[in-house]
Amino acid sequence: MTTKGASATMSFDSDLEELLGLKDVEYRYGLDHKELFAAAIAHDRGRTTAGGDFDQQKSFATKLGDAGPLLHFTDPDATGRRVQDTFAADYAEVTDKVWWKDDFARFDAATYEALLQRVVAYLNERGAPLYVQDVFAGSDPAYALPFRFVGEHATHALFARIMFPKGLTGVSEDLRWTMLNVPSYICDPERDGTRSDAAIIVDFRRRIALVVGPADYCGTIKKTMFTVLNFVLPDLGFLPMHSSANVGHDGRSAILFGLSGTGKTTLSADPERKLVGDDEIGWTTDQVSNFEDGCYAKLIDLDKDHEPVIAAALSMPGTIIENVPPLSGKPLAETDPQDLDLADRSITENTRFAYGLECNPLVAAGAAGPLPNTIVLLTADAFGVLPPVSILEHDEVMYHFVSGFTSKLAGTEVGITEPKAAFSACFGAPFMSRFASVYAELLAEKAERAKARAILLNTGWSGGPYGVGQRISIKHTRALLNAALHGELDDIETVRHPVFNLRMPTSCPGVPSEILDPRNTWEDRAAYDAAADKLRALFEKNFEEKGFEKLGIKRVF
């Protein structure tokens, strides 16, 4: 049985029967945001509290009703991506192409096929409604993949509608990917071959993404399809990037790579530049473009004065607020979304907000821009030893790109009492389904063709490590970034860092020259030298453990 909009894609139900074996189910196809909003509140059920049953209401309205955001609460075991439960089906034709690792592990193909059959039989027996949305992964028809979301929860269908482009033309239906998202199917590791009660399994052979069990964090949908694009695009000669991008008045783009906490979203939101995208970008032959049609922002401790676009979007329709707790003693139905406590960590640090690009008044036309002339690798060095800015050459770009360094702060996680180095290849290793060298070579090749400059921009600490020194001011960071964007660092005098061999400018407009060499900012120079040597050793250890040299990445210090 099909309801709503079947004429738009007359064969989708027969396609799903042929691909998956689904039949005797009710489809709710192509519902708009108001219909999905109402359905989510009425029907989405699952566990939202530790020890709770699986029949708890998961989605709620605020006092704004469907003219405002939908509030969604995930399973307590899924307040973020279930990284250790993410796999790819290990078929012979892909096994040598996939970068297998702990957060993207092999899943026996026969075991996967048996699990998929059990999940489909379960859905056919239940006959419960499945929400279907036809969207695209990618905004550029040169690489975009038709993406069909099929799932039990209306909230997830709304998320797909918010986050993925719609209405593209010129894209082959033969490339369609289908996600089957079934939170109510609780995996049994002994029976299903899973690690736990949930699994996310990517099937590159049949273009299926299977999400089963309590893995209902909305970001699972987004990052699973990002992983797919990371596998597909290199074969087209295109580069998928875990980055933000924007366009200046000069008509040239900038790419900003960075892990969480490095300033990727903040620095790309520039009133003098138009946003291409804040998280997932594709670099083709002649442009850069957003994979998405929305943003998925962290809300914890949001400063509404510094993030006015997100603040305003909190009260807009067609948006989803995820895992922000209700106010004490006040029903959500009587709560204005602007009154929610965005510092409340009682559910998770990883509170989130999904909203459409149209909420941002400064978006580049078509969420695309021309070839970039500046590549920025962001890091937040809590050891306080890396320069605020370094000008990178070809081999250095590849080295620091595959290293993907930033640092975790003391106190942010249990057991961390001093800064801890974090390395994530290509600034997003869990989502990189091909070897890191594949993306590094594409980046180096495309940067050379575009004649793009590259910098390593440190948004971390100066004058000492976290707890001793001070975070480099956002004013100075923006001045360094703007100088690079405007070419003011291209021909400037530089000196080499004695430990990291990085090329440091000796001056920059709007920035005190004494901070450009980080050693000068430490009172105890011997302590600086020891800290720099320690961080260098961590870089070298990561390089060795990942086997980057065997993949053709050159050492640069």
d(CA 376, CA 236): 24
Answer with the one of 236, 270, 295 that is the final residue of a domain. 236
d(CA 299, CA 341): 10
Q: Are residues 137 and 259 in the same domain?
A: no
Q: Are residues 543 and 521 in the same domain?
A: yes
Number of alpha carbons in the 13 Å side-chain half-sphere of residue 27: 26
Q: Are residues 193 and 206 in the same domain?
A: yes
What is the 8-class DSSP label of residue 93? T
Q: Are residues 498 and 382 in the same domain?
A: yes
Active site residues: 81, 223, 242, 260, 264-265, 279, 352
The reported pLDDT for the residue numbered 418 is 67
d(CA 97, CA 68): 44
Q: Is the dihedral of CA 353, 88, 204, 215 positive or negative?
A: negative
Domain membership of residue 295 (yes or no) is no
Show the tokens assigned to 234. Answer: 């290199």
Show the tokens assigned to 489. Answer: 């660092």
Q: Are residues 164 and 276 in the same domain?
A: no
Answer with the one of 236, 258, 273 that is the final residue of a domain. 236
Is 371 in contact with 530 (CB distance < 8 Å)? no
Is 447 in contact with 424 (CB distance < 8 Å)? no
Which amino acid, one-letter code, is at 185?
Y
Domain membership of residue 17 (yes or no) is yes
The reported pLDDT for the residue numbered 271 is 83
Is 454 in contact with 392 (CB distance < 8 Å)? yes
Helix (H) or strand (E) holding 475: helix 474-485
Domain membership of residue 353 (yes or no) is no
The reported pLDDT for the residue numbered 264 is 87
Q: Are residues 19 and 163 in the same domain?
A: yes
d(CA 479, CA 486): 10
pLDDT digits (tens, 9 = 90+) for 314-355: 999 999 999 999 999 999 999 999 999 999 999 999 999 999
Domain region containing 415: 239-283+371-551
Domain membership of residue 321 (yes or no) is no
Helix (H) or strand (E) holding 422: strand 420-423
Q: What are phi and psi of 384, to 5 degrees?
A: 75, 25
Domain membership of residue 56 (yes or no) is no
Q: Are residues 101 and 136 in the same domain?
A: yes
- Give the end-to-end CA distance of the chain in Å, rounded to a whole number: 63
In 54-185, which residue ranges form alpha helices assigned H by DSSP? 109-126, 154-163
β pairing state of 280-283 and 453-458: unpaired
Domain membership of residue 318 (yes or no) is no
Domain membership of residue 351 (yes or no) is no
The reported pLDDT for the residue numbered 415 is 46
Domain membership of residue 312 (yes or no) is no
Is 137 in contact with 202 (CB distance < 8 Å)? no
Answer with the one of 177, 204, 236 that is the final residue of a domain. 236
Q: Residue 404: name the closest of 431, 368, 385 by CA.
A: 431
d(CA 404, CA 385): 16
Is 210 in contact with 203 (CB distance < 8 Å)? yes
Instruction: Indicate the number of domains in the chain.
Output: 2
Q: Are residues 398 and 494 in the same domain?
A: yes
Q: Are residues 377 and 475 in the same domain?
A: yes
Per-residue pLDDT 10s for the chain (557 aa) are 555 544 444 589 999 999 999 998 999 999 999 999 999 999 999 999 999 999 999 999 999 999 999 999 999 999 999 999 999 999 999 999 999 999 999 999 999 999 999 999 999 999 889 999 999 999 999 999 999 999 999 999 999 999 999 999 999 999 999 999 999 999 999 999 999 999 999 999 999 999 999 999 999 999 999 999 999 999 999 999 999 999 998 888 999 999 988 888 788 888 889 999 999 999 999 999 999 999 999 899 998 988 888 999 999 999 999 999 999 999 999 999 999 999 999 999 999 999 999 998 889 999 999 999 999 999 999 999 999 999 999 999 999 999 999 997 644 443 445 678 999 999 999 999 999 999 999 999 999 999 999 999 999 999 999 989 999 999 999 999 999 999 999 999 999 999 999 999 999 999 999 999 999 999 999 999 999 999 999 999 999 999 999 988 999 99
| CATH number reported for the structural domain that contains residue 17 in this entry | 3.40.449.10
Place of tokens 């000069």: 250
Partners of residue 27 on adjacent β-strands: 2, 130
Q: Are residues 196 and 276 in the same domain?
A: no
Q: What is the DSSP string of 439-465?
A: HHHHHHHHHHHHT-EEEEEE-SEESSS
| CATH number reported for the structural domain that contains residue 430 in this entry | 3.90.228.20
Q: Are residues 210 and 246 in the same domain?
A: no
Q: Are residues 250 and 105 in the same domain?
A: no
